[in-house]
A and B are shown apart, each in its own frame.
Chain A
Amino acid sequence: MATSMKSSTPPRAVVTVRYKSGVLDPQGATIQRALTDLGMDGITEVRTGRTFELELSPDTTRETVEQACRALLANPIIETYQIEMPE
Chain B
Amino acid sequence: MKFGVVVFPGSNCDFDAYAAIRDILRQPVVYLWHADADLKGADCIILPGGFSYGDYLRAGAIARFAPVIGKVTEFAREGGAVLGICNGFQILLEVGLLPGAMLKNRHLRFVHRDVYLSCENFNTPFTTGIDQGSVLRMPVSHGEGNYFAPPDVVERLEAEGRVVFRYVDAEGRRTPEANPNGSVHDIAGICSEAGNVVGLMPHPDRAVEEVLGSTDGIAMFASAVAALEGAPCEA
Contacts and interface: CB of A to CB of B under 8 A. Distances in A.
B148 A26 contact: no
B193 to A, nearest CB: 17
A23 B99 CA distance: 16
A4 B107 CA distance: 52
Contacts of B99: 77
Contacts of B19: none
A26 B100 contact: no
Q: How large is the interface on A (under 10, 10 to 19, 20 to 34, 35 or more residues)?
A: 10 to 19
A27 interface: yes
A24 B149 contact: no
A75 interface: yes
B58 A75 contact: yes
A26 B101 contact: no
Interface string B38-76: 000000000000000000011001000000000000000
A50 to B, nearest CB: 9
Contacts of A75: 58, 61, 94, 101
B116 to A, nearest CB: 23
Contact of B104 (A27, A72, A73, A77): A27
A78 B153 CA distance: 13
B27 interface: no
B150 A77 contact: yes
Interface in A1-41: 23-24, 26-27, 30
B145 to A, nearest CB: 12
A77 B103 contact: no
Contacts of B149: 77
Contacts of A23: 103, 148
B12 interface: no
A77 B100 contact: yes
A78 B101 CA distance: 7
B105 A78 contact: no
Nearest to A50: B57
Contact of B103 (A72, A73, A78): A78
Interface in A33-57: none
Interface in B92-149: 94, 99-101, 103-108, 146, 148-149
Contacts of B84: none
A57 B232 CA distance: 52
B30 to A, nearest CB: 30
A77 B61 contact: no
9 contacts: A26-B108, A72-B61, A75-B61, A75-B101, A77-B100, A77-B148, A77-B149, A78-B101, A78-B148
Interface of A: 23-24, 26-27, 30, 72-73, 75, 77-78
Q: Which 4 A-B pairs have the closest CB atoms?
A: A77-B101, A78-B101, A26-B108, A75-B101
Given A24-B106, A27-B108, 9 more contacts: A23-B103, A23-B148, A24-B182, A26-B103, A26-B108, A73-B57, A77-B99, A77-B101, A78-B103
